[in-house]
Amino acid sequence: MDILKIDPEKYFKFDFSTGKIAYAENPGRAIIVPVEALREFAKVQASDEPHKSFYNLGICVGRYFGEILSKLYNHRGMEDDIRPEEFLNDLNGLLSLHGLGLMTMETWGEVLLFDWEILVESNLMTSDFQEGVLAGTLREFSRKEFEVATVENGSRKRGKFLAGNTQMVKCARQWVEEGAGTGEIVVRLKNGLHLR
């Protein structure tokens, strides 16, 4: 049997500088979802509430990313020898390869703040999906419990997400509902107001 030779550039255009994938003959954007994540998603969906679909898919994709990053660093857990910039660079590589945009990260003690720019016009790219991807990635990579909250969602293309422990994220969500801005939320968390 002859080996099939396919030139992916005939079908897709990859722009890794912006994290976009597009169909070559169609202006529509594409994303790549790992088969392992879809399998896991199907199992979760069979036993969970349908309204959590996008979050659950995000968790499954995030677990896949976290596993890849863990293998890349050959350990489980965020240890001192991995700089946040390294982790973010490798995570952005995965996001870009899958057409899911790019992000920046700020660390404020235990608080992780992600600014995620999505360059895909898709109903899949909801803040629930993004929260799931981040939570799944951080949980799988660190083997610690992480929750993620959307703290700023200015548009469908850009959002800010806070990652931390359950109590931090619960308080952050409450403060968002009360109208607090991202900076104010970070200051409150740094000052330990979530512990009261």
Nearest-5° Cα angle at 194, 188 to 195: 125
Averaged over successive runs of 10 residues, the pLDDT of the chain (196 residues) comes to 53 72 62 72 65 82 88 62 84 84 89 84 72 95 92 78 95 95 93 87
Instruction: Give the chain's domains with CATH numbers.
Output: 34-195 (3.90.1520)
pLDDT at residue 167, rounded to an integer: 95
pLDDT at residue 179, rounded to an integer: 94
Q: In what order do the strands lie in the sheet with 12-15?
A: 12-15, 20-23, 29-30
Backbone angles phi, psi at 32, to 5 degrees: -110, 125
Q: d(Cα 109, Cα 101) in Å, to the nearest integer?
A: 26
pTM more than 0.75: yes
Q: d(Cα 70, Cα 75) in Å, to the nearest integer?
A: 6
pLDDT at residue 25, rounded to an integer: 57
